[in-house]
Amino acid sequence: MIEPVEDIFSNLSFESISIIAGDIMNRFVNKEFNKVLIVYNRFVNAATQVVQTEQLLPIIPAVSTSTSSGDYLFEPSKTEIVEDLIPKTLKIQLFKAALDSFAAEHGARMTAMHKATDNANDLKKALKLSYNKARQAAITNEILEIVGGAEALNS
């Protein structure tokens, strides 16, 4: 079990995510985990967030659509390149997921506040209309009382 990290979004940085990713990779290499999945909210737009699940480890190789079987010379060796790139790629994937979740949360908050503002404005209009009707009724009653009193004095 990985220790919970509180307030990760208060100081969201690549360095803080790299530490978490490094811990996850070490535990995977030490066979504490068989598989590492990440579940996060993918930001689509301010009103839409999609729950996304991605497998970080073990890495699933992409199916190559290239028919080229050219022989390339790699320097440093293929192994060195892969050993250097995989940790960086996993850290970037985790950081991307954290940023997406952060953006999705802000989008959801913005949408909720917009709806709350719309509801408050609707309530304000309804209360203003109700107040104006009550005020108009009170004015009408006062006018009727004045007219009624004047009629009583005249007769």
Classify domain 10-60+80-123 by CATH number.
Answer: 3.40.1380.10
- Please provide the size of the chain in residues: 155
Percent of the chain with pLDDT strictly greater than 90:
69
Evaluate whether 57 touches 90 at the Cβ level (below 8 Å).
yes
Residue listed under structure tokens 């390339």: 72
Most confident range (mean pLDDT) of 70-74, 82-86, 122-126, 148-152 is 122-126
Tell me the torsion sign for CA atoms 125, 129, 131, 132. positive
Mean pLDDT, the chain, whole residue set: 90
Distance CA 24, CA 93 (A): 13
Percent of the chain with pLDDT strictly greater than 70:
95
Q: Which CA distances in Å does 58 have to 24, 66, 86?
A: 12, 23, 11
- Residue 109: the pLDDT is 94
- Predicted confidence (pLDDT) per residue in 43-74, tens digit: 999 889 999 999 999 988 777 676 666 677 77
Can you read off the two tokens belonging to residue 51?
């729950």
- Predicted confidence (pLDDT) per residue in 103-131, tens digit: 999 999 999 999 999 999 999 999 999 99
Question: 76 falls in which pLDDT band (50, 70, 90)?
Answer: confident
pLDDT > 80? residue 2: no
Question: 96 falls in which pLDDT band (50, 70, 90)?
Answer: very high
pLDDT > 90? residue 35: yes
User: Residue 113: enclosing H or E segment and its boundaries?
Assistant: helix 78-154
Evaluate whether 17 touches 102 at the Cβ level (below 8 Å).
no
Instruction: Examine residue 4 and say whether the peptide bond preceding it is cis (omega within 30 degrees of 0).
Output: no
